Amino acid sequence: MIYELYYWPTIQGRGEFVRLALEEAAAAYRDVARESGRGAGVASLVHFLQGRATERPPFAPPFLRAGRLIVGQTANILQFLGPRHALAPKSQSARLWLHELQLTIADLVAEVHDTHHPVAVSLYYEDQKKEARRKAADFLKNRMTKYLGYFEKILASKQRGNRYLLGAKLTYADLSLFQIVAGLSYAFPNTMASAARKHRHLFALHARIQERPRIAAYLESARRIPFNEDGIFRHYPELESPSRVK
């Protein structure tokens, strides 16, 4: 079976958390909205969203098709893929904990998005720039610190050899945390440069995952869409240094 991933074709966005899991698993998948031809492209994605193709229509991308099953919501997709591809632990209680971590990552992602879109997703950044500066300032000062500190503490509490969030073995949440560090470093390079000193375990996790053979190959491939200013992690220098840029 070949998975079908449905996500906006020009950004990493929330789809990237799923892509990273599929790539690490070396799972066969199509990134449908990025393909051309019949039954592909953005039209195929919209078709599902309009609820004409399934009794269980997703609210928004990303969603994954696995045979007859359609699974929506990023964290839910990862929860589905995890046990199928050795990216989740065996015990039920550990799986709940893993999912809890993933949902906290999802909350962080939503807050990152709101640094450039605090008023409305339907408006351009330029139309909410003033509000974005206030939001981003609070995010960088209070929220980002809180989230990164939380994950750092968990990683730091592990005994030697247990280098991942759940211990010795890599899970889908580690891959997502890699993407968080990568994305925040793109969006807020100065803040993250200072954060690296205080969050050694977190940045070490990022470096380690970046070097995993399948992830390294993926990051160098055309399948990895570069970060850009249409995605969740956007580099607007004025949001990081409001005093320096007009």
Residue ranges binding a copy of itself (CB under 8 A): 51, 55-59, 69, 71-73, 75-76, 79-80, 93, 96-97, 99-100, 103-104, 106-107, 110, 114, 118-123, 128, 131, 134-135, 138, 142-143, 147, 150, 153-154, 157
Least CB distance from residue 228 to a copy of itself, whole Å? 23
5 beta partners? 31, 64
Q: Which is nearer to a copy of itself, 71 or 225 (CB)?
A: 71
Least CB distance from residue 198 to a copy of itself, whole Å? 17
How far is Cα 82 from Cα 176, in angstroms, rounded to an integer? 12
Q: Is 104 exposed, middle or buried (0-12, 13-18, 19+ CB in 10 A)?
A: middle
Q: Which is nearer to a copy of itself, 41 or 57 (CB)?
A: 57
Residues 6+ apart with CB under 8 A from 62: 5, 6, 7, 13, 14, 15, 18, 72, 74, 77
Nearest one of 32, 38, 91, 90 to 66, comparing CA atoms:
32
31 beta partners? 5
Least CB distance from residue 79 to a copy of itself, whole Å? 7
Q: Which is nearer to a copy of itself, 62 or 227 (CB)?
A: 62
Nearest one of 61, 145, 137, 147 to 103, comparing CA atoms:
147
Q: Which is nearer to a copy of itself, 146 or 214 (CB)?
A: 146
List the alpha helices (DSSP H) in the chain. 15-24, 41-49, 74-84, 92-116, 129-138, 144-156, 172-187, 189-198, 200-210, 213-220, 237-240
Q: Which is nearer to a copy of itself, 144 or 215 (CB)?
A: 144
Least CB distance from residue 112 to a copy of itself, whole Å? 13
Q: Which is nearer to a copy of itself, 28 or 59 (CB)?
A: 59
